Chain A
């Protein structure tokens, strides 16, 4: 078995029919339990994605359990009920100061939760992910993340959203650069200005071409996220991630997926999802010479899925 190749490739091995089976069973059980099964369903779904994602033929694994997700789910629901309860309770007083206070409690609370959610979700997700028996981990500092979010959040507000590009990239730089796989370490080095200019160009060209350029903008975004990611090993050797997707590729993928979902009244969703995963993973190459065999287990077990579920309930897409 030749396990060391100069080029490493990711691949998604899932099948539409199999994912569909997972999704309908999830759906059925969630329904029968009036939604209580949701955390378990989520684990089943995540597991399907992980098990069918392979790097050099070795599958990833998701270790999370429905039980811990459920506990996180209950806590997250409780927290949100508390916040919204305070908001509506204060609003019921029908006093100006109470409404303002309620507003501050709710939105201030949600805003302060954001870094906590990102931090907790990463900690949980990474500790629950493994490849070749070695666990991933997130070693970011929560206070540092708060500092970034407060500083950049404020700047984004002051610049009427323009600084948002820098915010996104700074956050990504920080978070992704604190992800590790055993004794190896990931790094993301993006630049807010590049990202901003790319989106500016993408926005206007998409507008001028009546949407056609959107697929190429999508390609640019994909490349931006992939190409700035690297993976360093304890012996100093490094793998660089490289996106190989083309605008035409995105065009074909998105158009056929939309048709697939529409003409099957949504049943084709699982197949579309699998096509997307296949496309994305097939278009990420790892270039460089590194020894993937010499990575040691370094991370401890981490518990608690509160942040993960909170992020889910608040519909925050965490980039992974």
Chain B
């Protein structure tokens, strides 16, 4: 035995391991010798393949069944890898893996920061972009489907719905989506909007109102959800983060999946809080431009505040609606800023009276509503 380092050779014919010595012969070949036999494998031959783990180098050569050489000498492995990299046989993957291996946790943190950044900024931006590109008819289909399944479970007061429709139409809240208003008999102090234009107001909130401005504020708020396509945007964002998270976590672990899901929920909640503030603000601006005193929003929010037991301040982060007290303050500030409307208010008092008094069912169309 002469030059070279120890290696094990498998000839691909039998399972017997053959003790061999291997060295790199200049200019560019691998010299293998065992017993009295000697042969060389050209390093740039396409039939030569190599793979390494941390402490094993596996070189194989030829057609199936391939001859295989296992080398465990660290110095040989290092110089071999350096040489092969120099001759351009090292792929992107190996380079990436090399970096990852030299500091796995650091690499992981780098990737994680990148991912979190794209999750927090890039993904919502892209999702919103897609949502904006989607035709408004998608909103309408979504809303119609949701309303179709919901309607049978709700006790709608159709007569009052028609009155509310006239009230809403007078305000011209959503130029791009026709709005359909529904009054539902229910004691909850609540109202909600579906994408595409169904707006549901419970009698519970309606009968606690004092002024038409408050109802206008409520409809303006919900109308903003529709006009600004909040549901669709929210849906796209949730869909995007769902796909993103399942892609990242893949088959990793159930625990990571649960953690991620909760983090996602918290994020969605804070986003939906943002949407509520948005709806307040845009609603007030719209009221103002339609001649309705934006101060009605303050009244509405005060009414909500009386009804709702506010969450303690520390919980605000987890709440989908911003604390009513804070919303009131914000609304007061904006109302002061907007000032009195410059155009005349549409006639709403008669309609409002009909809506908030349970006995009076409907005002025939055509009678003076003031």
Q: CB-CB < 8 A to B54: which residues of A?
A: 15, 18
When the two chains form their complex, are residues B14 and A294 in contact, meaning their CB atoms are under 8 A apart?
yes
A133 contact from B19, B67, B101, B255, Cβ within 8 A: B67
B15 contact from A21, A47, A61, A295, Cβ within 8 A: A295
Shortest Cβ distance from A45 into B: residue: B251
A104 within 8 Å of B (CB atoms): no
Name the residue in B53, B247, B248 with the highest tally of chain A Cβ atoms < 10 Å from its Cβ.
B53
Interface mask (B6-36 → A, CB under 8 Å = 1, otherwise 0):
0010111111110100000000000000000
With A133-B66, A134-B15, A135-B65 known as contacts, the answer to whether A24 contacts B248 (CB < 8 A) is: no
Interface mask (B233-259 → A, CB under 8 Å = 1, otherwise 0):
000000000000001111011011001
When the two chains form their complex, are residues B11 and A59 in contact, meaning their CB atoms are under 8 A apart?
no
Q: CB-CB < 8 A to B11: which residues of A?
A: 133
With A51-B53, A266-B256 known as contacts, the answer to whether A21 contacts B65 (CB < 8 A) is: no
Q: CB-CB < 8 A to A203: which residues of B?
A: none
With A31-B115, A133-B67 known as contacts, the answer to whether A297 contacts B248 (CB < 8 A) is: no
Interface mask (B87-109 → A, CB under 8 Å = 1, otherwise 0):
00000010011001100100110
When the two chains form their complex, are residues A297 and B65 in contact, meaning their CB atoms are under 8 A apart?
yes
When the two chains form their complex, are residues B107 and A34 in contact, meaning their CB atoms are under 8 A apart?
no
With A and B bound together, what is the CA distance between A173 and B96 in angstroms?
43
Interface mask (A147-174 → B, CB under 8 Å = 1, otherwise 0):
0000000000000000000000000000
With A and B bound together, what is the CA distance between A297 and B65 in angstroms?
8
When the two chains form their complex, are residues A261 and B253 in contact, meaning their CB atoms are under 8 A apart?
yes
Interface mask (A216-242 → B, CB under 8 Å = 1, otherwise 0):
000000000000000000000000000
When the two chains form their complex, are residues A261 and B15 in contact, meaning their CB atoms are under 8 A apart?
no
A24 contact from B10, B19, B111, B256, Cβ within 8 A: B111
Q: CB-CB < 8 A to A294: which residues of B?
A: 14-16
For window 62-95 of B, CB contacts with A under 8 Å fall at: 64-68, 70, 93
A265 within 8 Å of B (CB atoms): yes
B321 within 8 Å of A (CB atoms): no
When the two chains form their complex, are residues A21 and B100 in contact, meaning their CB atoms are under 8 A apart?
yes
When the two chains form their complex, are residues B247 and A21 in contact, meaning their CB atoms are under 8 A apart?
no
When the two chains form their complex, are residues B255 and A261 in contact, meaning their CB atoms are under 8 A apart?
yes
Shortest Cβ distance from B115 into A: residue: A31
Shortest Cβ distance from B54 into A: residue: A18
How many chain B residues sit at the interface, stated as a range, is 35 or more
With A and B bound together, what is the CA distance between A35 and B250 in angstroms?
10
Q: CB-CB < 8 A to A1: which residues of B?
A: 17, 19
B155 within 8 Å of A (CB atoms): no
B58 within 8 Å of A (CB atoms): yes
Nearest Cβ distance between residue A126 and chain B, in whole angstroms?
A: 14
For window 142-160 of B, CB contacts with A under 8 Å fall at: none
Nearest Cβ distance between residue A312 and chain B, in whole angstroms?
A: 10
A51 contact from B17, B56, B66, B67, Cβ within 8 A: B56
A265 contact from B107, B111, B248, B256, Cβ within 8 A: B256
Name the residue in A3, A21, A34, A262 with the highest tally of chain B Cβ atoms < 10 Å from its Cβ.
A21
B207 within 8 Å of A (CB atoms): no
Nearest Cβ distance between residue A308 and chain B, in whole angstroms?
A: 15
Nearest Cβ distance between residue A19 and chain B, in whole angstroms?
A: 9
B330 within 8 Å of A (CB atoms): no
B51 within 8 Å of A (CB atoms): yes
A301 within 8 Å of B (CB atoms): yes
For window 5-56 of A, CB contacts with B under 8 Å fall at: 15, 17-18, 20-22, 24-25, 27-31, 34-35, 44, 47-48, 51-52
With A24-B111, A134-B15 known as contacts, the answer to whether A34 contacts B56 (CB < 8 A) is: no
With A and B bound together, what is the CA distance between A173 and B62 in angstroms?
36
With A51-B53, A135-B65, A301-B64 known as contacts, the answer to whether A27 contacts B15 (CB < 8 A) is: no
For window 46-64 of B, CB contacts with A under 8 Å fall at: 51, 53-54, 56, 58, 64
When the two chains form their complex, are residues B17 and A265 in contact, meaning their CB atoms are under 8 A apart?
no
Q: CB-CB < 8 A to A134: which residues of B?
A: 10, 12, 14-15, 65
With A and B bound together, what is the CA distance between A12 and B67 in angstroms?
24
With A and B bound together, what is the CA distance between A48 and B93 in angstroms?
14
Nearest Cβ distance between residue A56 and chain B, in whole angstroms?
A: 9
A292 within 8 Å of B (CB atoms): yes
With A and B bound together, what is the CA distance between A3 and B66 in angstroms?
22
Q: CB-CB < 8 A to B16: which residues of A?
A: 132, 293-294
With A and B bound together, what is the CA distance between A29 and B248 in angstroms?
10
With A22-B97, A133-B68 known as contacts, the answer to whether A266 contacts B255 (CB < 8 A) is: yes
With A and B bound together, what is the CA distance between A27 and B249 in angstroms?
8
When the two chains form their complex, are residues B100 and A34 in contact, meaning their CB atoms are under 8 A apart?
no
Q: CB-CB < 8 A to A34: which residues of B?
A: 247
Nearest Cβ distance between residue B142 and chain A, in whole angstroms?
A: 19
Nearest Cβ distance between residue B241 and chain A, in whole angstroms?
A: 13
Shortest Cβ distance from A133 into B: residue: B10
Nearest Cβ distance between residue B102 and chain A, in whole angstroms?
A: 9
With A and B bound together, what is the CA distance between A195 and B93 in angstroms?
45
With A22-B97, A35-B247 known as contacts, the answer to whether A295 contacts B104 (CB < 8 A) is: no
Nearest Cβ distance between residue B177 and chain A, in whole angstroms?
A: 28
Q: CB-CB < 8 A to A21: which residues of B?
A: 97, 100-101, 104, 107
Residues of B bordering A, CB below 8 Å? 8, 10-17, 19, 51, 53-54, 56, 58, 64-68, 70, 93, 96-97, 100-101, 104, 107-108, 111, 115, 247-250, 252-253, 255-256, 259
Residues of A bordering B, CB below 8 Å? 1, 3, 15, 17-18, 20-22, 24-25, 27-31, 34-35, 44, 47-48, 51-52, 58-59, 61, 131-135, 182, 261-262, 265-267, 269, 292-297, 301
10 further interface pairs, Cβ-Cβ under 8 Å (given A58-B8, A132-B16, A294-B16): A1-B19, A24-B107, A24-B111, A30-B247, A34-B247, A59-B56, A131-B15, A133-B11, A133-B65, A292-B15
**CB pairs A–B below 8 angstroms (8 shown):** A44-B93, A58-B8, A61-B68, A133-B15, A293-B17, A294-B14, A294-B15, A296-B15
4 A-B pairs closest in CB distance? A133-B10, A266-B256, A21-B100, A295-B15
